[in-house]
Amino acid sequence: MEKKINLSISEGDSFFAHEISVNFNPTQFVLDFKNITPRMDPRSSDAPTLCIKHSVVLVEPYHMKKFAEFLGKRMEDYEKEFGKIERPKAVEAYEKKQKKRKIEDDDKAQIPSYFG
């Protein structure tokens, strides 16, 4: 007798990550992908608003190691096909500009780069 199975597949949303953090404990790695978008809200014009979305992936250590190997291989394949991945000139110029900026008071928190 043939059994039938119904599947429900959730594709999820596309997500652009501006930052990623990787943490771990004895049983898992935590990949935290962040999307950070500055917004200007006319109702609270005294300070900019940051919208932060997180997409977190938990991975068992063995699978994380296999994923790292797979990712390294895919990066090699990419560079063979399209050339070496280098830091964009715009990023280098921005970093040089940031080094020139000085914060007058050392007690002030540095302004995050996504504020410009």
Query: What was the pLDDT predicted at 37?
Result: 86
Digit-by-digit pLDDT tens for the chain (116 residues) are 788 988 888 887 888 998 999 999 999 999 999 998 888 777 766 777 888 899 999 999 999 999 999 999 999 999 999 999 999 999 888 888 888 775 544 445 555 555 54
Give residue for tokens 């964009």. Answer: 88
Structural contact between residues 33 and 17, judged by C-beta atoms closer than 8 angstroms = yes
Whether 52 contacts 114, CB under 8 Å: no
CA distance 68 to 59: 11
Give the pLDDT score at 51.
Answer: 87
